[in-house]
Structure 1
Amino acid sequence: MSLLKEKIIQSAVRLFMEKGYRATSIQDIADDCSIAKGSLYKVFGSKEDLFICILKQRQQYMMDEVERIRKLALPRRETYLAEITSLFQFFSRHGYYISRDYTEFPPASSDNVYSLIQQIQIQMFNYYENLLSRQYGSAISQWKWDVTSLFSGLVREYTFHLLFAFKPIHIEQLALFIAERMDDLVEGLVKTSPQALLTTELMKEYEAVDLESLVPTNSARMSSLLHTIQSIIPELYVPNVRKSELEQVAKLLEEEMNKEVPRAFLIQALLRDLSVEPELSSHADQLQQRLGEIRQENKPR
């Protein structure tokens, strides 16, 4: 992602949170970024396109955090608590993501936005089901969608109290409280064995979601990171000669990464050169991390 694009997104998120989507104009965002409105339209064709980009970006952040926690390979209970904690941390950082996002857009207002919001809601609900099924297994199989619905309600209600009612609740304490209440709920269901309300038949659209497909592969992530690096280079405040050098480095890196047997020493050298520039260093470091994960996965066991 280019520096200008990231600046526009950060400005839009802040203004949407302060004023709401409808009350924020493209001119407001352009003024906040100190750029001409025409320059903004070169990056995003409309306010709707900008909003969709923000929604997709936030959803990807959520999936990235799920992936990070799973890779820690913690005991099941610790993973469960860590993921619940991460939910509230995520919503605390991206409050707009769950506040106005889902209330400012009735179905007729924007087909593209409304469709994406529906898709995100289904993905998140399906993630909750996956989280609970990993923790409780067959104990909730009969009532998994009812349990998911109750869990979702708890998360949303307590998020409201955290963000909008300004209740000083400690997130780790909240995560433990909810986990223990879900324990109580599951114990009660197993004991009384009520009839499920949200049956598999009723929840077909959720059953069809493949959660794993929402988490990009390492190769897809690396391609995205490299594309981001290439898009930032033209905007760097460095001499043109240096820009040309960096563009060549990025091109060589792309060519080497696409080889059947990449030369690790060359990739390391190219990444070190990119990391010299502060605007590129974090992306180069992430790329280095992804490459390391692939090497680890490919090691003979």
Structure 2
Amino acid sequence: MSVLKEKILQSAIRLFAEKGYQATSIQDIADDCSIAKGSLYKHFSSKEELYISILEKRQEDMVDAVDRIRIMQLPKRETYLEEIAYQFDFYVKHGYYISRDHNELPPVNNDKIESVLTRMRRSMFLYYQDMLIRHYGPAIDKWKWDATALLSGLIREYTFHLLFEGKPIGKKELALFIAERMDDLVEGLAKRSAPSLLTDELMTEYSRIDLKNVLDSRQGRKDELIERISSIIPDIAVPNQRKKELAEVAAMLREESAKDHPRTFLLRALIRDLESESELAFYANQLHPFI
């Protein structure tokens, strides 16, 4: 992603949050970026596409954070608690859509945006289910959809109290409370042998989403970060010789990271070199979990 495209996204996020989607025009965003409206359209064909790009970036950020938790290789219970706690960190920071206001609502009567939001909600639902299956194993199989609905409901309701009502509840404390309530639920379902309400037949629309592509594409996200760095290099404010050096560093990083057994010391050195440039540091820093 180029420096200008990133600037446009950040401007849109701020203006959508401050003024709302309907009240923000493409001209407002272009003026905020000090560019012509035509230059903005070279990157985003419409305000709708810009909004969708922000939503998708939010989900990428969530997936990247979950991935960093997983590769820490903590004990299973700690991973479970960390993943639950992160849900609250993420939503309190970003809100559900774009802003953190009570008025934050997605654009209405827009089929394309609603389709994206529906896909994202279903992806998150399946991620919660994956979290439960990884933690409880076969014990949850019979009630996987119902248990997921209950976990999703708990996270949503407590997020509301944290986000909109400012309840002073610690994220770690809340994660432990929810994990223990899910323990109680799984144990109670097994004891009562309760029938499931949400069956595979009722949830067929969720089976069309490939969660593996959403959560397990570490190589793809790493490649995307390297490509983003490569695309930014021509626009940064350094001499041409330095740009050439940085482009070679990015190419070496791409080549080395693609190997079956990349040399860790070399990857770290290459990333450090990229991090030394302030305009690349944000993206280069995100590569460390992939080493």
TM-score, scaled relative to structure 1: 0.83
- Structure 2 residues not aligned, in runs of 5+: none
Which residue of 2 is the match for residue 45 of structure 1?
45
Which residue of 2 is the match for residue 83 of structure 1?
83
CA contact (8 A) 1:13 1:96 kept: no
CA contact (8 A) 2:71 2:289 kept: no
Measure the CA separation in 2 of the matches of 1:138 and 1:62.
Answer: 27
Which residue of 1 is the match for residue 152 of structure 2?
152
Q: How does 1:226-237 map to 2 (within 5 A)?
A: 226-237=226-237
CA contact (8 A) 1:81 1:175 kept: yes
Letter in 1 for 2:75: P
Which residue of 2 is the match for residue 299 of structure 1?
none
| Cα separation, partners in 2 of 1:80 and 1:251, compared to 1, 3 Å | closer
Letter in 2 for 1:85: A
Q: 1:196 is paired with a residue of what secondary structure?
A: coil
Measure the CA separation in 1 of the matches of 2:190 and 2:265.
Answer: 57
| Cα separation, partners in 2 of 1:239 and 1:105, compared to 1, 3 Å | same
Measure the CA separation in 2 of the matches of 1:16 and 1:189.
Answer: 44
| Cα separation, partners in 2 of 1:186 and 1:73, compared to 1, 3 Å | same
Q: 1:97 is paired with a residue of what secondary structure?
A: coil
Measure the CA separation in 2 of the matches of 1:140 and 1:266.
Answer: 43
The alpha carbon displacement at 1:85 in A equals 0.2
The alpha carbon displacement at 1:129 in A equals 0.9
Q: How does 1:5-44 map to 2 (within 5 A)?
A: 5-44=5-44
- Determine what percentage of the aligned residue pairs are the same residue: 57
| Cα separation, partners in 2 of 1:70 and 1:51, compared to 1, 3 Å | same
Deviation by residue 1:228-281 (Cα, 9 ceiling, x = unmatched) = 122212221223443344445545655676789988888777655544422223
Deviates more, 1:233-242 or 1:92-101: 92-101
Match 1:104 to one of 91, 106, 118 = 106
Measure the CA separation in 1 of the matches of 2:146 and 2:263.
Answer: 52
Q: 2:42 is paired with a residue of what secondary structure?
A: helix
| Cα separation, partners in 2 of 1:244 and 1:160, compared to 1, 3 Å | same
Q: 1:43 is paired with a residue of what secondary structure?
A: coil
The alpha carbon displacement at 1:136 in A equals 2.1
Which residue of 2 is the match for residue 125 of structure 1?
125
Deviates more, 1:208-217 or 1:24-33: 208-217
TM-score, scaled relative to structure 2: 0.85
The alpha carbon displacement at 1:175 in A equals 1.1
Deviates more, 1:265-274 or 1:134-143: 265-274
Letter in 2 for 1:70: R
Which residue of 1 is the match for residue 193 of structure 2?
193
Letter in 2 for 1:104: P
The alpha carbon displacement at 1:3 in A equals 1.9
Measure the CA separation in 2 of the matches of 1:101 and 1:208.
Answer: 32
Deviation by residue 1:125-149 (Cα, 9 ceiling, x = unmatched) = 1111111122222222222111111
Q: 1:195 is paired with a residue of what secondary structure?
A: coil
| Cα separation, partners in 2 of 1:261 and 1:140, compared to 1, 3 Å | closer
Q: 1:198 is paired with a residue of what secondary structure?
A: coil
Deviation by residue 1:72-96 (Cα, 9 ceiling, x = unmatched) = 2222211111110011111112114
| Cα separation, partners in 2 of 1:228 and 1:216, compared to 1, 3 Å | farther
Q: How does 1:1-301 map to 2 (within 5 A)?
A: 1-97=1-97, 103-106=105-108, 109-215=109-215, 217-251=217-251, 254=254, 273-287=273-287, 290=290, 292=291
Q: 2:165 is paired with a residue of what secondary structure?
A: coil
The alpha carbon displacement at 1:222 in A equals 3.4
Measure the CA separation in 2 of the matches of 1:258 and 1:139.
Answer: 38
- Structure 1 residues not aligned, in runs of 5+: 293-301
Deviates more, 1:124-133 or 1:6-15: 6-15
| Cα separation, partners in 2 of 1:26 and 1:186, compared to 1, 3 Å | same
Measure the CA separation in 2 of the matches of 1:197 and 1:5.
Answer: 46
